[in-house]
Structure formats: structure tokens, C-alpha cells
Structure 1
Amino acid sequence: MRSGIVELYIGNGKGKTSAAVGTAIRAAGHGYNVIIFQFLKGRESGEQTLLKNIENIEFIKCNNSKKFIMEMDNIEKEILKKEVNYYVRQIKKETIINNYDVIIADEILGCLENKLIGEDKLLDIIDGKSENIELIFTGRNATEKIIEKSDLITEMKKIKHPYDKGIIAREGIEY
């Protein structure tokens, strides 16, 4: 693999996870080993089902809750915080760094925004990656320091969304 970069998919629009999953599929199609850590998404989604069946993609769900974070009480948030921090530590392990060409941390920036992890942990991941690894973070917002250390940043901007009309997430389309 050529030199890897740090990619961010951010913004309040739809498509951040879809962009990361598209990169995972493309990389796997070229024989690269991909690992996806999915934070903050509680319910099973179509991409989870599919990705778990692709030989050189490993998919890890980093959240046992079925609730969105804004629906959680303080005890549930503390449990989530422990789960998030456990998986963030896993990303930095040599078994991950030495065995995968693409590392995706889906909604990791949402973990930062919700104070489940500190910015320093994400900067450590960026600083600790070898030059051949493609590292992708998704979430609505990124800090200035993370933006500075990133090589590619795409912002998904909401212009109009069905949620605004009260249309809930649809199986097969949004999850």
C-alpha cells in the first residue's frame, strides 16, 4: 500500500459512515486488510451485516447499548464511556497497527464531542499510526488540533433531511 493518510468525514449531513464504508469496501477489493470500530451506533445496521461477511474486513461494534446517547441516564453513559475507552486503547495495540492497512473509527469524533474520551487519545492514535496506514475518523465535529493533523477532510452538510419532517430512520436506507 502507498503512504497512508488521515481522513475525516465530518458535518451534520448524512453520509459520513457511508463514505467510510465505501473506502473499506474499495480497500478490501484490492486485498487490503480493514478494521472498522463502530462507536455510538446501537442498533444493527445493513452495513454491519454485509461487512461481517467480507473476508478481509473485521467489524467491531464498540457499544452494547441500543439507545442514542441523549436517551441515556448517567449510569448508562458511564458504561458507554468505559466501552469507548476500552476500544480506543485497542486501536493503538500492535496487533491492530501491524495487521491492518485501513483503520476506521466510525463516530469516534462523536465520542469526543460527548466527552466520552479526551482529544489527547485521538491525537495519540494519529501520531502513533505508521505511515502506511489509512486512518479514518467520522463524526459531526472535529477539533482544530485534529483538523490540523488530518490530510483529507470532507464535510457532509445538511441542506434538507427527512428527520425535519418527522420521518424516522428507515431500515435499509439510514441503517
Structure 2
Amino acid sequence: MIQIFNLYKVYPDNHPALTDINLHIKKGDFVFVTGPSGAGKTTLIKLIFCAERATRGQIIVNGINLAKIKKSGISYLRRNIGVVFQDFKLLNNRTAYENIVFALEVTGARRKEIKRKAWQVLKLVGLQNRLDATPLGLSGGEQQRIAIARAIVNNPTILLADEPTGNLDSE
């Protein structure tokens, strides 16, 4: 699923974010990457879904070598990766339901399937009664759950989560 070989990421100010990372994650693995702020956890996630490019090394995701991926292949890759961002990245001018629907619409799903899947994940995260609320009207934990619902609605083969429990209640 994810193979990383001798990965380096150095930012333009010569700040090394990642140094010689090697990682092999198989289908079905559940992996936590831990470390202090600034350790490169978010950078690693961004590299795996092609939001950034590695300085050196190799990342292979679902058999695709990200060093060789063309721009047109990135959207295909991302259809198989769900991402829960640390800052949620919800669209503030759309409702909770519309934020989830958006993730389905960009894949070309049919309207009937969109409604079914969106409702299904809203129920799964316990927010079926908040579907008309905009992100600004939701608590941090509710926003996080909408972000999770959006990340899983397309049934991705890989789910990446950056600080996934940061705003959730202890229950």
C-alpha cells in the first residue's frame, strides 16, 4: 500500500523536515506516527497524497511511484486516499451535508448514490441532525467529525489523519 525509501524533505530555508525515512505499510495496517511539533508528521502526510514533493527518496502508494506521477495522475491517486486535515479544510459557505457531498461530486458519482452515501456517513459520525449547519455553526469536535465523514465517504483504500483526535470528546 505505502512504501517509503530513503525519504528526505528539505524546505527552501534549508530546514530538514524529514531525514532518511523508511516505512512499509501493508493493506490492513493501522499505523500511528507520533512525535513532537515540528517532527515532520504533517509533512509526511502531505508527501503521501502529493500536496508536496519529496526532496529525495521514493514513495510508492498503491503501486504508483509518486516521484514519477504526472499532474493528471494525482487526482486519480487522491480518489483512493481519504485525508482528515488538522485544520479540517471544510468549506465555510457550505453546510455539513454539502461538505460531504462535494467529495462525492468531484468523483462523478450519481445523485442517488451521493444522497445515500452522504446520509450514511452523517449517521456514522452521529451528525445526521446537524446536516444543515455550516462549519462556523459547529463545534470543533463536530467539524472534526464532518471532516472524518468527508474523508471516508468514498471508501478510500488509504485513510490519512493529521491529529485525528485533537478536537473529539473523550467519549
TM range, smaller chain: 0.3 to 0.5
Give the number of the structure whose alpha-carbon radius of gyration is greater: 2
Q: Judging by fraction of residues, say which structure has more helix.
A: 1
Per the normalisation by structure 1, the TM-score is 0.33
Per the normalisation by structure 2, the TM-score is 0.34
Highest RCO, 1 vs 2 (Cα 8 Å, sep ≥ 6): 1
